Structure 1
């Protein structure tokens, strides 16, 4: 930051001195030039956006992080970590323009936070330990407050040691309804997740298990992070096949009740992937994809018995008309043994209980080819203030005999940040060159981005606005966002096995006035 600031001052001084070269009093010209530059720099300092809550309705929520006994399937009960005693946690519903005031009480034995995934909150409310706050210690409380200005389907989850804590069930959903209301007769939320039966485990541990002193500690402090990378390395190559229980809303198929509908109704389904695996959910009736990551698709067309591919962190809203008069099943087409668990019935109330014949195969809906074209904020013809390329890779850490996931050959916190000024138009190129054939759902905090191209081909249909984008092996995307939310923000893979071993970058605003200072009292682990 200091180097950039001095460079800016130096350049401006040269220009101003040249303009004043005809003046006889060069000393006075130098003094005036320096004053002008200092004034410009002072004006360029950005502060974190504050929540303008004056006159707005406040919706207050109490969220308690606690451990409970939770039944995943008839054969498996676990000790889940939850918000308010359920998996997923309590659904928070507000109207567009209302204030969300959420008080977190931590009754777990480890520090936690809440990140509002997809919501462009002020930087102070982002919930990232070691970046925007200290994690909330056991027995303590913390209040988040922001205005829900952007209607859509979002979710909230811990961002402290998330690779373990989120994996235990510490998440919930946030629905911001548009001012005109939900234009559907039924509105269901379906949260997808995976679990390990954990043979021999009686303590409720799952996912990566108890990392102890591992993890990315104190994210803004390089030394602390490096101290913990070695313990993370030997856990990186987590065997994803160990996830042998798939759930919808924290339950397997046998434990879930059908989604009830009536003939003629418009039914809205909100899919949220809270896990670490991509899932292919098959909807065997005609439907429309109305929103991606909560953002509207322009004039969506009808998809006939299609598969929605949902990556970690992504959300898809679909709508269909209940006109078949036959019950049907929404199921998972991953082809894995646990896929049979991730399915749910749709049943007609007062129907004849006849079941529709289920197609064995369908096409996957292409997210880059949804809806109709319209004018958008960005195009590839724009002149961008910042262009940044993320080469998403995997590397061997020979020193610690482990593997790491990288951005441009580096692991966090050594990944060079995306430096922006407030108001900049920013283009980021995402390239998946990982040699292990892994996918990378890349999530940007604090902003929405527009997908401009895929594998060099511009998008021609509805503008696609997202906050999480799945980049498959060999794929390349160009995305763009407006730097309109000052702060320090993460841009990372939402397979947290990847993020926790290095696949994290920062978007940092130049001349940003810091508000967070590490107290040294908490072991902050931002992933």
Structure 2
């Protein structure tokens, strides 16, 4: 009888303990799960973490500071710089190493650093008001991440970027792969355009544009109802942002006359990394046989030889080319453009052991189509895939109806922060269709933070060559692209036009992860301006 009672007591105690354990586990699980509108339980997702153990840490100190900078022999400006130069100090590391950057702000305005193209953890993205407070004058802020993805990238302030980039607050970051050991010469060429200050009328027009209530479309509707043709060339010209004020074009912060040539030797393999840090697309003519090996740092599969054609590099984009120095003579890389300033955006390639003779510079109308590069191979996505999320993104313009009527740039008829976000679950396969119906007929180089995307189609035609992986895609007027990415980097991310005149006037949306555990709280100390 005693044995039975003891056994019964033990069974009861075990049952009670088991129930307590279940309740305890359930309580802990509630911290990591949340119920959605359909009543199902979803796991809370957190920002990506990285383990630095055993990895080489490369530490850099960048100081945001004013510096007198000579663009040309007759034009010196007060630039905003990282470490006193334009572009700022180049950061160069090997794949898999840690990048640690201490940013000290000696300017009179808050700043930040965004690592353009690198899928860093959301905490490191450098977006004031979204992932951090901008760094106040006199303060220091540290960024730290693993450079997992080799390629050509750049860094720049994302605080009031339309002005801070214009003043020179950017630099380049190169993540080397084992393939880079096969290159004999490796040059980075940063393209940009500047205002000489002689276009005050344009500045006044821009100051008159209202950016306060970008979501009000009444004025646009009134114009349409009154019979005004919004597609006419006169209307497009009136609406277009006047880029003529940018009357100085540079490579690496200097006009042609102030740049030293790039030296090569016969037989060498030469890599040129083009980075566009400006707000205009530039058509660059390379008058020798070359290959486009990477776009936005990502490999092109078995790239073909291109015979002296023009490559276009849009704002935010990077294009890597390689050529073999065959000894045929010195030559000049130049910009093909209608603006007078284009003649200053060129660079000489000179043989160290040559005789000084210059190869003939053939003119060409051919422009490389990045969607037709290389050879087809296995890719992550295709048009027949089933996608978890599909998002239509119409890029357009509208007129604000405030006291001073000005133009705004819209996504799906709205301006940031009123544009509906792309809402995703972690692991989702996402397809975005981008269509440029912009009434000013402007290009829109759309940049996605935190992810790479694959181009699936252009104007309804599936890509037949190499898979093209990018983070910035220039969508021209009348074009439609389908792109796809995996939602594998939890956080809140911007997706915006990298002509920052357009972004600061509304052409921004976000990619937001469902059930994401926030890590940033606006302190109220800083006037954060994410664009």
Both proteins in one fold, TM over 0.5: yes
Instruction: Give the alignment's TM-score, normalised by structure 2.
Output: 0.86
Give the CA deviation at 1:43.
5.1
Give the CA deviation at 1:398.
1.6
Secondary structure of 1:429's match? strand
Q: Which residue number corresponds to residue 270 of structure 1?
A: 273
Is the Cα–Cα contact under 8 Å of residues 210 and 402 in structure 2 kept in the other structure? Answer: no
Give the CA deviation at 1:334.
1.3
Q: Which residue number corresponds to residue 521 of structure 2?
A: 517
Equivalent-residue separation in structure 1 for 2:100 and 2:427 (angstroms): 28
Instruction: Give the alignment's TM-score, normalised by structure 1.
Output: 0.87
Q: Which residue number corresponds to residue 88 of structure 1?
A: 87
Equivalent-residue separation in structure 1 for 2:194 and 2:47 (angstroms): 37
Going from structure 1 to structure 2, the CA distance change for 1:314 and 1:227 (only over 3 Å counts) comes to closer
Is the Cα–Cα contact under 8 Å of residues 193 and 275 in structure 1 kept in the other structure? Answer: yes
Equivalent-residue separation in structure 2 for 1:248 and 1:180 (angstroms): 26
Equivalent-residue separation in structure 2 for 1:170 and 1:328 (angstroms): 31
Going from structure 1 to structure 2, the CA distance change for 1:486 and 1:327 (only over 3 Å counts) comes to same
Equivalent-residue separation in structure 2 for 1:180 and 1:457 (angstroms): 32
Q: Does 1:353 align with 2:353?
A: no
Secondary structure of 1:128's match? coil
Q: Which residue number corresponds to residue 401 of structure 2?
A: 398
Q: How many residues in Structure 1 have an aligned counterpart in Structure 2?
A: 479
* 1:357-390 CA-partner distances (Å, limit 9, x unpaired): 1112241001000000001000000000000010
Secondary structure of 2:489's match? coil
Give the CA deviation at 1:335.
2.3
Q: Which residue number corresponds to residue 311 of structure 2?
A: 308
Going from structure 1 to structure 2, the CA distance change for 1:406 and 1:63 (only over 3 Å counts) comes to same
Q: Does 1:451 align with 2:450?
A: no
Equivalent-residue separation in structure 1 for 2:464 and 2:361 (angstroms): 33
Structure 2 residue runs without a partner (length 5+):
1-25, 218-237
Is the Cα–Cα contact under 8 Å of residues 216 and 400 in structure 2 kept in the other structure? Answer: no
Going from structure 1 to structure 2, the CA distance change for 1:136 and 1:179 (only over 3 Å counts) comes to same
Q: Which residue number corresponds to residue 100 of structure 1?
A: 99
Secondary structure of 1:182's match? helix
Q: Which residue number corresponds to residue 16 of structure 1?
A: none
Equivalent-residue separation in structure 2 for 1:129 and 1:52 (angstroms): 25
Give the CA deviation at 1:521.
0.5
Q: Which residue number corresponds to residue 256 of structure 1?
A: 259
Is the Cα–Cα contact under 8 Å of residues 284 and 329 in structure 1 kept in the other structure? Answer: yes
Shifted more, 437-446 versus 34-43: the winner is 34-43
Q: Which residue number corresponds to residue 127 of structure 1?
A: 126
Is the Cα–Cα contact under 8 Å of residues 167 and 207 in structure 1 kept in the other structure? Answer: no
Q: Which residue number corresponds to residue 425 of structure 1?
A: 429
Equivalent-residue separation in structure 1 for 2:35 and 2:187 (angstroms): 55
Equivalent-residue separation in structure 1 for 2:34 and 2:105 (angstroms): 48
Equivalent-residue separation in structure 2 for 1:254 and 1:459 (angstroms): 41
Going from structure 1 to structure 2, the CA distance change for 1:227 and 1:457 (only over 3 Å counts) comes to closer
* 1:495-515 CA-partner distances (Å, limit 9, x unpaired): 000000000000000000000
Q: Which residue number corresponds to residue 14 of structure 1?
A: none
Is the Cα–Cα contact under 8 Å of residues 236 and 501 in structure 1 kept in the other structure? Answer: no
Q: Which residue number corresponds to residue 300 of structure 2?
A: 297
Q: Which residue number corresponds to residue 193 of structure 2?
A: 194
Equivalent-residue separation in structure 1 for 2:516 and 2:525 (angstroms): 25
Q: Which residue number corresponds to residue 161 of structure 1?
A: 160
Going from structure 1 to structure 2, the CA distance change for 1:340 and 1:200 (only over 3 Å counts) comes to closer
Q: Does 1:481 align with 2:485?
A: yes
Give the CA deviation at 1:336.
1.4
Is the Cα–Cα contact under 8 Å of residues 415 and 505 in structure 1 kept in the other structure? Answer: yes
The match for 1:329 among 319, 329, 332 is 332
Q: Does 1:367 align with 2:370?
A: yes
Equivalent-residue separation in structure 2 for 1:272 and 1:499 (angstroms): 19
Give the CA deviation at 1:236.
8.8
* 1:297-325 CA-partner distances (Å, limit 9, x unpaired): 00000000010001000000000000043
Q: Which residue number corresponds to residue 445 of structure 2?
A: 441
Secondary structure of 1:272's match? strand
RMSD, aligned CA: 2.6
Secondary structure of 1:284's match? coil
Equivalent-residue separation in structure 1 for 2:431 and 2:505 (angstroms): 25
Is the Cα–Cα contact under 8 Å of residues 198 and 245 in structure 2 kept in the other structure? Answer: no
Secondary structure of 1:79's match? strand
Q: Which residue number corresponds to residue 144 of structure 1?
A: 143
Equivalent-residue separation in structure 2 for 1:38 and 1:520 (angstroms): 31
Instruction: Please give the residue correspondences for 1:203-214 in structure 2 after superposition, counting only pairs within 5 Å.
Output: none
Equivalent-residue separation in structure 1 for 2:214 and 2:256 (angstroms): 43
Is the Cα–Cα contact under 8 Å of residues 34 and 42 in structure 2 kept in the other structure? Answer: no
Secondary structure of 1:135's match? coil
Q: Does 1:498 align with 2:498?
A: no
Secondary structure of 1:244's match? strand
Equivalent-residue separation in structure 1 for 2:239 and 2:253 (angstroms): 25
Q: Does 1:247 align with 2:246?
A: no
Is the Cα–Cα contact under 8 Å of residues 97 and 148 in structure 1 kept in the other structure? Answer: yes
The match for 1:469 among 469, 473, 480 is 473
* 1:446-499 CA-partner distances (Å, limit 9, x unpaired): 000000000000001000000000000000000000000000000000000000
Structure 1 ranges of 4+ moved more than 4 A: 34-43, 206-209, 225-230
Secondary structure of 1:435's match? coil
Equivalent-residue separation in structure 1 for 2:71 and 2:216 (angstroms): 33
Secondary structure of 1:309's match? strand
Equivalent-residue separation in structure 2 for 1:502 and 1:38 (angstroms): 33
Give the CA deviation at 1:238.
3.8
Going from structure 1 to structure 2, the CA distance change for 1:156 and 1:236 (only over 3 Å counts) comes to farther
Is the Cα–Cα contact under 8 Å of residues 83 and 171 in structure 1 kept in the other structure? Answer: yes
